[in-house]
């Protein structure tokens, strides 16, 4: 059985060193490498092929959101978990829409962190409890709005579901148009309809919505 490989990405040198030490105590045979920004993370991820990347959001040169997009585009099976101080909903949904497998907070206790990392290694999506509650509230609000509108009005068409799936993978309008053999204008119309039907605000929320549906298994 091969050792788990961790890539720790944060511009705070002391935090990286502390986290590396804790992970080394938790997983004595773990391979641990560090990066101080998103671009360095991409270079190291190409070589290391990490089991898990713990990624900060606010970093110089290339932030964690953009780094996640870049890494997932090249290494789609890599599990990237945001480890941040930010409890902003915009950061949460941007991270998920960029392909993050989880969203954890830096104020967690080590035992809580490692319990969730165990789940991530087993393939589970992991979200810090306060942020999971916000996701649940967003879905409950969305479900309530659908109920108020009536199922037929809120239901997505098969083509809209295809567009939703591709958007959740980070595809641009042109990418979606090429994949589905339709015009960019038609894609824009579908995106508009999805926003209207699901009562979402923007493309990032569309991608986050689709991705969380897949990660959690909610239907």
Per-domain residue ranges of the chain: 5-127, 134-216
Confidence of residue 148 (pLDDT cuts 50, 70, 90): low
Look over the chain and give the mean of its residue pLDDT values, rounded to a whole number. Answer: 85
**How confident is the model over 194-219, as a mean pLDDT?**
67
CATH for 5-127 is: 3.40.50.2300
pLDDT for 90 = 83
Q: Which architecture, in CATH terms, is 134-216? A: 3-Layer(aba) Sandwich (3.40)
Question: pLDDT tens, 14-34?
Answer: 999 999 999 999 999 999 999
Question: pLDDT tens, 78-123?
Answer: 999 999 999 888 888 888 878 888 899 999 999 999 998 998 888 8
Tell whether the torsion through CA atoms of 16, 20, 26 and 27 is positive or negative.
Answer: positive
pLDDT for 161 = 87
Q: Against a cut of 0.85, is the pTM above it?
A: no
Q: In CATH terms, are 5-127 and 134-216 the same topology? A: yes
């Amino acid at each position: 059985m091969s050792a788990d490989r961790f890539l720790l990405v944060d511009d705070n040198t002391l935090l990286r060193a502390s986290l590396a030490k804790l992970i080394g105590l938790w997983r004595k045979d773990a391979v641990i490498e560090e990066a101080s920004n998103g671009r360095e993370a991409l270079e190291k991820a190409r070589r290391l092929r990490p089991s898990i990347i713990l990624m900060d959001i606010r970093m110089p040169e290339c932030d964690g959101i953009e780094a996640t997009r870049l890494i997932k585009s090249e290494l789609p099976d890599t599990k990237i978990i945001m480890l941040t101080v930010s409890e902003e909903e915009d950061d949460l949904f941007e991270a998920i829409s960029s392909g993050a497998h989880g969203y954890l907070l830096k104020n967690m206790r080590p035992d809580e962190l490692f319990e969730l990392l165990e789940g991530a290694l087993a393939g589970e999506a992991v979200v810090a409890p306060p942020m999971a509650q916000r996701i649940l509230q967003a879905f409950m609000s969305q479900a309530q709005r659908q109920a108020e509108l009536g199922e037929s009005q809120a239901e997505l068409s098969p083509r809209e579901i295809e567009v939703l799936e591709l958007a959740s993978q980070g595809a641009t309008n042109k990418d979606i148009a090429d994949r589905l053999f339709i015009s960019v204008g038609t894609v824009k119309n579908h995106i508009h309809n999805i926003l209207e039907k699901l009562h979402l605000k923007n493309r990032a929320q569309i991608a986050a919505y689709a991705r969380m549906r897949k990660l959690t298994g909610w239907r």
